Amino acid sequence: MKKRTFEVDICSDSQSSLDAHASLSIVEQNRYFHTNNGFRLPLGIYNVSASRVCEKITRLSSNIERYIRAGNVLLPINRNQELMQETIDYLELTLYAAAEHVDDVISIAAGFFPTKGKAKKDQGYKKLEKAIKEHKKFIATGANYLKHKQSRIRMFSMEFRQGGVTGSLHGYFFEGVENGTVCPDPTIHKGQDVFSITTLVWEALYLVLNLSKDLADFLRASVKIPAGSANIQFPRLSQAVIAAVRLPIYTFGEEHPFARSALRIKSRNNDYSELDSGLYGSIENRWSKDVKVSFGQVISRFEGDGVTKSFRFAQPKSVSFQHWE
């Protein structure tokens, strides 16, 4: 799949950077069947759904930023159990909101046909379903494990030092059981014990951006809605992008979404001050490309059940610092 490039204007009063907004804002009433089936108008469905997932991304990012600031080594962080649990809660809420956004986009597209059967025969709809299936893999797998396998998210942390900077890298894993041993779930993790918490933020953001482009392509191809610009403001996306950019970017061996899509950030009034969190590894305080990195203490967190005595700790496949260009 060709690497896409998205551009987001972070000004609060800028026009929406989501492609689907332009098309959905000019849909004529005789082109859809949503209201006949008891649903909101397609633009209404999209606004509610995109707002919800962007709001969860923003809150998750803000919690991660607070979690990182709780201490540059692991001991102070371990003492803040309430903040850790709150971060886990927003990891789960973000996964659920993103997975539901997938369903909402499919529902919007299907509503342009009188029956689901007719939708399934349309080439544009088939192309949309194929694209969504590709983009949703990571998010849908995580949400399904939480919902259907009663899995739990657990936190992982690793100390690092680069030059005179010390800090902690945080990740998460889905808890499972293998031969009676509690460990990162062997099915979902498969040689990849832990994922970066900041990578999940970008997975969810890129899902919103990619699905917006896919939906817009479908509307132009199958509903014959012309391309155009939207007279719609959508600050929730700008807020989510700002919150995400303030975080350090790194992986524990998983592919980062930046490998599949690129993001250009612009500000119509040339004000980028909100992007500066001061956190090492974020866009305004980038990782050094020249100084060697060393790693220290590692912690995998589990919750006891009063019975299980065997645990296997998470081991990251690798650690990779991602660099803004």
Q: How far apart are CA 258 and CA 256, in angstroms?
A: 5
Cβ count within 10 A of residue 287: 19
Strand partners, 285: 282
Residue 71 belongs to domain spanning: 4-321
Question: 242 to each of 50, 74, 174, 283, how far by Cα in Å?
Answer: 16, 26, 27, 10
Q: What is the dihedral of CA 281, 282, 285, 286, to 10 degrees?
A: 50
Q: How far apart are CA 290 and CA 41, in angstroms?
A: 53
Q: How many domains does the chain have?
A: 1
Q: How far apart are CA 47 and CA 253, in angstroms?
A: 34
pLDDT tens string, the chain, 325 residues long: the values are 578 999 999 988 888 999 999 889 888 766 777 777 667 889 999 999 999 999 999 999 999 999 999 876 666 556 678 899 999 999 999 999 999 999 999 999 998 888 888 889 999 999 999 999 999 999 999 999 898 877 899 999 999 999 989 999 999 999 989 999 999 998 899 889 999 999 999 999 999 999 999 999 999 998 888 766 668 899 999 999 999 999 999 999 999 999 999 999 998 788 899 999 999 999 999 999 999 999 998 988 888 888 988 999 999 989 999 999 8
| Cα radius of gyration (the chain) | 21
φ, ψ dihedrals at 96, nearest 5°:
-65, -45
> Given this model, what pLDDT does residue 78 score?
60
The total number of residues written for the chain in this structure: 325
- pTM: predicted TM-score of the whole model, two decimal places: 0.93
Q: How far apart are CA 4 and CA 116, in angstroms?
A: 30
